[in-house]
């Protein structure tokens, strides 16, 4: 089991599966469709919560805990569904909607940790958050193209060997970690700028 450090206020880890059934890469994305339908609705709600949070921080300097927990739920649900659809794990993710920041532990192989900043927020960086995030968004977009290529290569590796090549898996988990940090930053869970790192 990999450790879940809290160096940045949003973390992501996936336990390594010793073996993945060879057929799973062909169908897991299909089995994950119910999760992605729910995730679409959660994304709409989370984006609205981020906009409301933006105004709340600008006017009060604080992010309401309920909005922060809703954003944590969305990011956590997205990561679980993506890890399953991307055949990093075989266990089907639960349909649970814990609106809490700490990891509830109901899907142990995929863990997300959040420590939202609720009070004493920097209104200037919040006001210009999307502009400040542009370099991160560009890098994540480029890494996203690479991630698609890596997932296709991994699909064939798992089909033939039943295992993820370690380097490919490390890159995908690192990419998902980066996206988690960016989502937390753009979603106003923290004022700390995400590191340019897959670690």
pLDDT at 7: 81
pLDDT at 3: 40
Tens digit of pLDDT for each residue in 26-39? 999 999 999 999 99
Q: Which residues contact 156 (CB under 8 A, 6 or more apart)?
A: none
Instruction: Give dist(CA 72, CA 168) in Å, integer.
Output: 27
Of residues 4 and 85, more confidence is placed in 85
pLDDT of 4 > 80? The answer is: no
pLDDT at 119: 87
Residues 29 and 15: beta-carbon distance below 8 Å: no
Stretch 9-13: mean pLDDT: 94
Instruction: Give dist(CA 152, CA 156) in Å, integer.
Output: 7
pLDDT at 6: 52
Tens digit of pLDDT for each residue in 165-194? 999 999 999 999 999 999 999 999 999 999
């Amino acid at each position: 089991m990999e450790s879940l450090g809290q160096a940045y206020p949003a973390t992501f880890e996936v336990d390594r599966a010793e073996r993945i059934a060879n057929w799973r890469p062909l169908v897991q994305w299909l089995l994950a469709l119910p999760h992605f339908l729910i995730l679409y609705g959660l994304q709409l709600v989370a984006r609205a919560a981020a906009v409301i949070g933006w105004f709340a921080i600008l006017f009060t300097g604080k992010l309401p805990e309920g909005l922060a927990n809703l954003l944590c739920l969305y990011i956590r649900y997205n990561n679980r569904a993506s890890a399953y659809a991307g055949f990093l794990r075989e266990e089907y993710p639960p349909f649970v909607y814990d609106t809490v920041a700490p990891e509830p532990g109901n899907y142990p192989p995929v863990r997300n940790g959040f420590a939202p900043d609720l009070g004493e927020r920097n209104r200037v960086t919040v006001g210009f958050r999307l502009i400040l995030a542009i370099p991160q968004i560009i890098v994540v977009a480029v890494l996203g193209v690479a991630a698609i290529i890596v997932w296709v290569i991994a699909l064939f590796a798992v089909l033939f060997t039943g295992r993820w090549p370690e380097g490919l898996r490390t890159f995908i988990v690192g990419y998902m970690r980066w996206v988690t940090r960016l989502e937390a930053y753009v979603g106003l869970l923290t004022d700390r700028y995400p590191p340019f790192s897959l670690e």
